[in-house]
Structure 1
Amino acid sequence: MDNNSNNSNKSTTMDLSNIKSMPIRTFWITSIAFFICFFAWFGIVPFMPDVVKDLGLTPNQKWNSIILAVSGTVFARLLIGKLCDKYGPRICYTYLLILGAIPVILIGFVQTPAQFLICRLFIGFIGASFVITQFHTSIMFASNIVGTANATSAGWGNLGGGANRLGMPLIAAAVVSFGVADEVAWRYAMVIAGIIAMAMGVIYYYFTQDTPEGNFSELKKLGKMPTLKKDEESFKNVLKDYRVWILFIVYAASFGMELTVYGTMDDYLQNTFGLTRSTAGNLVLSFALMNIFARTLGGFFGDRFGRLKGLRGRVVFLTIILALEGLMLSIFSLTTSFTMGIIFLIAFSLSVQMAEGATFSVVPFINKKAIGSISGIVGAGGNVGAFLAALLLKSKSAMAETNALASSTGLGEEAMRAAQAAAASNAVSSGYFMIGGFVIVAALASLAIKFSTVDEKSVQTETATSVSAPYKFLGTKV
């Protein structure tokens, strides 16, 4: 059975209690695997003060470790999508989890800054887990609900990047209770996270399959998978498709901006509104936890617009929610009232995560024969956007802070700190405003995404067949 032409075995519902169903079981396993990967990827973050002290990292080395972690993910995402199209998500995820766990474990044994930087680079590769998760859910769920499935699996997996701020210190505390010294507990915590990721790789291999009809290896033997030559031709077509690159920019403007804004928000809230580090950190964590439902909403409404207005409807919703994201961030950047600032920050958090979900309600329909390659390119766009936005904010802030310190020399340490904080706040505020403008431009660019009449009719037929079954989410008819 060809999974591109026959959708009879794809799930038309999100009845997540039905774990006997291969698509539903795959949804749970791929979401948990994604969660574990992001948990391990950002696992070192809560321990950075300990790492700096233990290894004697300089500020430059600390920043370089962050950049290396993001850079590794860009290349891994570009590669893993093509590998998924060729070998299937089951084998790719198994290898990613097992091999990706090795640097996570090894970072617990590093003794020099150079070793630490190398491990962070290779740990970043497990960020490619997002691509495999989106690919796997895309081929397991029918068109009437694929956006919701993609958005929910991605949102729940993304929680790993926020949950580590609570989970990793708890693991370290448990280790300390067994007599391990506080200053080296971070090493044990990372080793444990790596072992969990490795075990998840084994589970992925034995409890999932590539498609509702079977694994790629079985389908190839039956002659129901594209040949290598056709694979290469399909990948070339992907690279030539302007829609893929628009979605690359769109994801840079959504996920990329979320990573950058949340990565700088702790300091911004402290410098602008005078919050303590603990309060600011908890606020940022609460916004990350909105992934439980916000990203799902983006996919859900993408599917709803798709049923009402076809593929064009999915694009229109993406444009609207992305434009709202940019507008909310720009307004937030101009806000001086803490109460109003939090209101617009919540609105930004909701809209940016919905935009991410909406993006991957469009991706599966660009080219069904190369979903993995497209997911990889679009996913990499998120990290490229984060990298460029971080460079913008860092350059503006560093220059402003340097000038502020130079002009306040001799006024006392407290006055110098206040001048530095004010300069950083103003610089980042203007940076957020510029980023908001970029997001709005990206939203307008998304309107250029078009689909052929043949594609529209094909999806209409598939959707008409799919919606004949009850539309369920979490076991409830919607």
Structure 2
Amino acid sequence: MSTSQKATKLELFNLKSKPIQTFWITSIAFFMCFFSWFGIVPFMPQVVKELGLTPDQKWNSIILAVTGTVFARLLIGKLCDKYGPRLCYTWLLAVGSIPVICIGLVQTPLQFLICRLFIGFIGASFVITQFHTSIMFAPNIVGTANATSAGWGNLGGGANRLGMPLIAAAVISFGVAETEAWRYSMIVAGVVCFLMGIVYYYCTQDTPQGNFKELKASGKMPELKKDEAGFGAAVKDYRVWILFLVYAACFGMELTVYGTMDDYLQNTFQLERVTAGNLVLSFALMNIFARTLGGFFGDKFGKLKGLKGRVLFLTVILTIEGLMLATFSTVDNFIVAFIFLICFSLSVQMAEGATFSVVPFINKKAIGSISGIVGAGGNVGAFLAAILLKSKSAVAEKEAIAGTSGASEEIIKAAQSAASSEAVASGYFIIGILVVITAIVSLTIKFSEEDEKAVVLEAKTV
């Protein structure tokens, strides 16, 4: 396939450009998916009370929400290679809206856990977004385009902390009982996802030249046509699995750290819940620019030192991420801890952008499959990190409760809070060290001279 119609600049207001149109629509779709995926989070205290969730069930719901996404991302990448991003996104939004709506109708803890598992499937939207921008933008800008679309989409995971309560307030203004508002809010989010699927079908196309179906029929897409060995080749390529680990070490850690940071800030620095929640929201909002910076510098290093330059930058920023998290976990002064937390947030999001400035160059015949595998790595990382933090925290809290048996409720809660803080801090430190080790491993990603020459040649034909 010719690259002549790929965008060489991210001209956000050039809406006549098909790649730019695709960029906006896929970013908005991704935003809505993440908004819905974590939409229940602001309502969890009310859900726990109404459904009678135990602490274990609450933690399990967090784990299930990222578990379902692993399998969905692996599958959707291969489907993108075969059917194209347009149809895949349309179906994902339509089918994914069902559990989002259904969670507003649950009556038991089991029903809630099942819905959280299947809502996680909508997280596969990330893979389609990265695939779609990868084939719409030229090599000189693809890292920046991928990082920006992903970063703006990720905002949905933080924007729901403000958006969902606003939807709930609007629902209440129409006469709905306050205790039922969270249910209607999730139903609204599900309906919006379904409508977004219709928009995606009618307002996008698979490539700058047209849709997969028509291009395959006319023989005009040899570079992107179905490669029977595409998925198999992706699975056998060691570089794909290193990037799997890398994405586990950045996106996986962002999901886990932000998912547990509210409680950690309250337990460690005695912040109010609202204050802690707003701080975590501000870190999520850094996706507006931080992930883009990762892709931008990935492209810049690629221009200066070729594909190995992209890998080098990824290694550096991943190392910084690990060091920032490990250091943060050892600090007991709030101001100092806050500074390191900002640095962690900035570096972890830049590492995510840098990862997908490398992905499009591994194997152009299997971009979807590779994006799916690497994307799944993020959720595997989140799953394993959540298991680590849950196990350490649960044991510490039980010991604290046993050790203060017979004391007042206030003393028991204080001991439980301190034990949880210490356990989670220990978990953060371990995670930070593992991230640094992963960064060192990423240096083993190599590209052949043919790969380097192919990128230079493609850039000249744009």
Which SS does the other structure have where 1:66 is aligned? helix
Which of 6, 9, 19 does residue 10 from structure 1 map onto? Answer: 6
Aligned Cα root-mean-square deviation (Å): 1.5
Which SS does the other structure have where 1:231 is aligned? coil
What is the deviation of 1:53? 2.9
Q: Does residue 451 of structure 2 align to residue 455 of structure 1? A: yes
Alpha-carbon distance between aligned partners in 2 of 1:122 and 1:404, rounded to the nearest angstrom: 35
Aligned equivalent of 2:315: 319
Q: Deviations over 1:310-357 (max 9, x none)?
A: 000000000000000001111111111111100000000000000000
What is the deviation of 1:148? 0.2
Which SS does the other structure have where 1:370 is aligned? helix
Which of 215, 220, 230 does residue 234 from structure 1 map onto? Answer: 230
Aligned equivalent of 1:278: 274
Alpha-carbon distance between aligned partners in 2 of 1:341 and 1:228, rounded to the nearest angstrom: 47
Q: Decide whether the 8 Å contact of 2:223 with 2:365 is kept in 1.
A: no
Q: In the TM superposition, what are the counterparts of 1:72-471 in structure 2 within 5 Å?
A: 72-225=68-221, 231-466=227-462
Letter in 1 for 2:444: A
Alpha-carbon distance between aligned partners in 2 of 1:12 and 1:401, rounded to the nearest angstrom: 54
Q: Decide whether the 8 Å contact of 2:27 with 2:150 is kept in 1.
A: yes
Which SS does the other structure have where 1:410 is aligned? coil
Tell which deviates more after alignment, 132-141 or 334-343: 334-343
Which SS does the other structure have where 1:163 is aligned? helix
Alpha-carbon distance between aligned partners in 2 of 1:181 and 1:269, rounded to the nearest angstrom: 32
Which SS does the other structure have where 1:14 is aligned? coil
Aligned equivalent of 1:471: none
What is the deviation of 1:418? 2.1
**What is the total number of aligned residue pairs between the two structures?**
462
Which SS does the other structure have where 1:455 is aligned? helix
Letter in 2 for 1:160: G
Alpha-carbon distance between aligned partners in 1 of 2:333 and 2:61, rounded to the nearest angstrom: 35
Q: Deviations over 1:363-398 (max 9, x none)?
A: 000000100000000000000000101111111111
What is the deviation of 1:409? 2.3
Alpha-carbon distance between aligned partners in 2 of 1:428 and 1:104, rounded to the nearest angstrom: 30
Letter in 1 for 2:290: A
Give the TM-score taking structure 1 as reference length.
0.94
Tell which deviates more after alignment, 11-20 or 215-224: 215-224
What is the deviation of 1:225? 4.3
Structure 1 residues without counterparts, runs of 5 or longer = 467-478
Alpha-carbon distance between aligned partners in 2 of 1:403 and 1:171, rounded to the nearest angstrom: 41
Q: Decide whether the 8 Å contact of 1:35 with 1:157 is kept in 2.
A: yes
Structure 2 residues without counterparts, runs of 5 or longer = none
Alpha-carbon distance between aligned partners in 1 of 2:237 and 2:426, rounded to the nearest angstrom: 34
Alpha-carbon distance between aligned partners in 2 of 1:411 and 1:317, rounded to the nearest angstrom: 53
- Give the percent of matched residue pairs that are identical in Structure 1 and Structure 2: 76
Q: Decide whether the 8 Å contact of 1:307 with 1:463 is kept in 2.
A: no
Which SS does the other structure have where 1:10 is aligned? coil
Aligned equivalent of 1:476: none
Alpha-carbon distance between aligned partners in 1 of 2:257 and 2:244, rounded to the nearest angstrom: 19
Letter in 1 for 2:236: K
Q: Deviations over 1:419-465 (max 9, x none)?
A: 22222111111111110110001100110000010110111222345
Letter in 2 for 1:347: C
